[in-house]
C-alpha cells in the first residue's frame, strides 16, 4: 500500500496543487532523476540551496520562472520533492531557524535509511 500511495502521489497527482507556484510539468515527468540524485547525494546533511541544482535537470530548471526576490527553484524543489519525501519518511530536515521556520537557503536535509530500501535504480 505504501508503494501504491507513493506512485499515485508522484505520478498521478498534480504536484502543482500543493503550492501556489506555476505549473512545472517537466519536474513531475522527470522526478525519477531527482529521486536517484537523492539516493546518491543526500546521505550526509546538505543545505536545500546546495541540493536544489543537483535535483533539477537543466530542462526542468529552465522551465521554472526566475524571480529577483526569491529562489523559486529552491522553493519548488522543497515543496514538490523534499517536503513530500519527508512526509513519506524518506528525508529528514534540520531547520536553521531557531524559531522552527523553514528557510530554504540554510535548512539542511538528508535521506533516511528507508530510501535505500525503498528506491532502487538500475543505471
Domain ranges, ordered by start, for the chain:
29-118
Strand runs labelled E in 6-101: 46-47, 91-94
CATH number of 29-118: 1.10.10.10
* Reported confidence tier of residue 88, pLDDT bands at 50, 70, 90: very high
Q: Which residue has the cell 550526509?
A: 44
Find the mean pLDDT for residues 95-101.
62
Q: What is the pLDDT of residues 27-44, one digit of tens each?
A: 999 999 999 999 999 999
CA atoms lying within 13 Å on the CB side of residue 73:
19
Does 10 have pLDDT greater than 80?
A: yes
For residue 119, the 8-state DSSP code is -
Does 82 have pLDDT greater than 80?
A: yes
Amino acid at each position: 500500500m505504501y508503494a501504491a500511495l507513493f506512485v499515485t502521489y508522484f505520478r498521478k497527482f498534480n504536484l502543482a496543487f500543493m503550492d501556489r507556484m506555476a505549473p512545472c510539468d517537466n519536474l513531475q515527468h522527470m522526478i525519477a532523476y531527482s529521486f536517484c540524485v537523492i539516493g546518491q547525494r543526500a546521505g550526509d546533511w546538505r543545505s536545500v540551496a546546495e541540493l536544489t541544482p543537483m535535483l533539477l535537470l537543466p530542462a526542468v530548471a529552465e522551465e521554472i520562472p526566475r524571480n529577483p526576490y526569491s529562489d523559486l527553484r529552491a522553493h519548488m524543489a522543497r515543496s514538490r520533492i523534499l517536503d513530500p519525501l519527508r512526509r513519506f519518511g524518506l528525508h529528514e530536515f534540520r531547520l536553521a531557524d531557531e524559531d522552527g521556520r523553514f528557510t530554504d537557503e540554510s535548512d539542511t536535509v538528508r535521506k533516511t535509511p528507508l530510501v535505500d530500501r525503498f528506491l532502487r535504480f538500475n543505471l
